Amino acid sequence: MTTDSNRVIIFDTTLRDGEQSPGASMNLEEKLRIAETLEEMGVDVIEAGFPIASEGDFESVSEIAKRAKNSSICGLSRASQGDIQRCFDAVKHAPIHRIHTFISTSPLHMKYKLQMEPDAVVEKIKSSVTFARSLVEDVEWSAEDGTRTDPDFLCRCVETAIAAGARTINIPDTVGYTVPEEYYKMIDMLMNRVPNIDQAIISTHCHNDLGLAVANSLSAVQAGARQVECTINGLGERAGNAALEEIVMALRTRKDFMPYETGIKSELITRASRMVSAITGFSVQPNKAIVGKNAFAHESGIHQDGMLKHAGTYEIMTPESVGLDNANKIVLGKHSGRHAFKDKLSALGYELGDNALNDAFKRFKDLADQKKDVYDDDIIALVDDEVMRVNERVKLTHFQVTCGTHVKSQIAALSLEIDGDERKTIAEGDGPVDAAFKAIKEIVPLPNAHLELYQVHAVTQGTDAQAEVTVRLEEEGKTVNGRGADTDTMVASVNAYLNAVNKLLVKREKGKPEDVGSI
Ligand SMILES: CC(=O)SCCNC(=O)CCNC(=O)[C@H](O)C(C)(C)COP(=O)(O)OP(=O)(O)OC[C@H]1O[C@@H](n2cnc3c(N)ncnc32)[C@H](O)[C@@H]1OP(=O)(O)O
Ligand SMILES: CC(C)C(=O)C(=O)O
The verdict on the CB of residue 116 being under 6 Å from ligand 1 is: no
From residue 101, alpha-carbon distances to 78, 124, 162, 281, 311 in Å are: 5, 11, 13, 30, 46
The verdict on the CB of residue 141 being under 6 Å from ligand 2 is: no
**Which regions of the chain are under pLDDT 50?**
1-2, 513-517
Residues 275, 338 within the same domain: no
Scanning 196-300, the segments in alpha helix (DSSP H) are 213-223, 244-253, 269-280
Residues 366, 433 within the same domain: no
Residues 398, 357 within the same domain: no
Q: What CATH number is attached to the domain comprising 173?
A: 3.20.20.70
Please tell me the residue having the least CA distance from ligand 1 atom 12: 53
Residues 246, 336 within the same domain: no
CA 114 to ligand 1 center in whole angstroms: 9
Q: What CATH number is attached to the domain comprising 495?
A: 3.30.160.270
Which atom of ligand 2 is the closest one to the Cα of 144? 7
Residue 72 inside a domain? The answer is yes
Q: Alpha-carbon distance 37 to 244, whole Å?
A: 13
Which atom of ligand 2 is the closest one to the Cα of 170? 3
Residues 17, 98 within the same domain: yes
The verdict on the CB of residue 229 being under 6 Å from ligand 1 is: no
Which ligand ends up closest to the CA of 231? 2
Q: Alpha-carbon distance 46 to 75, whole Å?
A: 8
Rg for the chain, CA atoms, rounded: 34
The residues, ordered by sequence, that sit 6+ positions from 51 with a Cβ below 8 Å of its Cβ are 57, 58, 61, 62, 75, 76, 77, 83, 86, 87, 89, 90, 91
| pLDDT tens by residue, 366-394 | 989 887 778 887 888 788 777 666 678 89
The verdict on the CB of residue 144 being under 6 Å from ligand 2 is: yes
Which atom of ligand 1 is the closest one to the Cα of 174? 1
Please tell me the residue having the least CA distance from ligand 1 atom 19: 53
Residues 431, 479 within the same domain: yes
**Counted domains in the chain:** 3
N- to C-terminal Cα separation, the chain: 89
Residue 410 inside a domain? The answer is yes
Which atom of ligand 2 is the closest one to the Cα of 146? 7
Residues 313, 437 within the same domain: no
Q: Alpha-carbon distance 78 to 60, whole Å?
A: 18
Q: Alpha-carbon distance 13 to 29, whole Å?
A: 17
ipTM score over 0.95, yes or no = yes
Residues 62, 210 within the same domain: yes
Closest by Cα among 141, 153, 142 to 107: 153
Residue 291 inside a domain? The answer is no
Model pLDDT, residue 58: 98
Which ligand ends up closest to the CA of 83? 1
Residues 48, 103 within the same domain: yes
The last residue of one of the domains, among 360, 388, 416, is 388
Q: Alpha-carbon distance 127 to 116, whole Å?
A: 15
- Contact 469/489 with Cβ under 8 angstroms? yes
Q: Alpha-carbon distance 6 to 325, whole Å?
A: 30
pTM value is: 0.81
Please tell me the residue having the least CA distance from ligand 2 atom 2: 144
Model pLDDT, residue 7: 98
Residue 225 inside a domain? The answer is yes
Q: Alpha-carbon distance 262 to 244, whole Å?
A: 11
User: Strand, coil or helix: what is 465?
Assistant: coil
Please tell me the residue having the least CA distance from ligand 1 atom 23: 53
Q: Which domain range does residue 487 map to?
A: 394-515
Residue 287 inside a domain? The answer is no
Residue 286 inside a domain? The answer is no
Rounded to the nearest 10 degrees, what angle do helices 301-309 and 338-347 cross at?
A: 60
Residues 337, 442 within the same domain: no
Probe target for ligand 1 pocket from 58, 78, 102, with the most ligand atoms within 8 Å of CB:
78
The last residue of one of the domains, among 280, 309, 329, is 280
| pLDDT tens by residue, 430-458 | 999 999 999 999 999 888 999 999 999 88
From residue 260, alpha-carbon distances to 3, 45, 251 in Å are: 11, 18, 6
Question: Does the annotation flag 17 for ligand binding?
Answer: yes
Residue 285 inside a domain? The answer is no
Model pLDDT, residue 387: 67
Residues 483, 376 within the same domain: no
**What is the DSSP secondary-structure string of 108-151?**
HIIIIII---HHHHHHHHHHHHHHHHHH-S-EEEEEETGGGS-H
Residue 194 inside a domain? The answer is yes
The last residue of one of the domains, among 367, 388, 409, is 388
Model pLDDT, residue 326: 61
From residue 455, alpha-carbon distances to 316, 481, 493 in Å are: 47, 11, 9
Residues 411, 484 within the same domain: yes
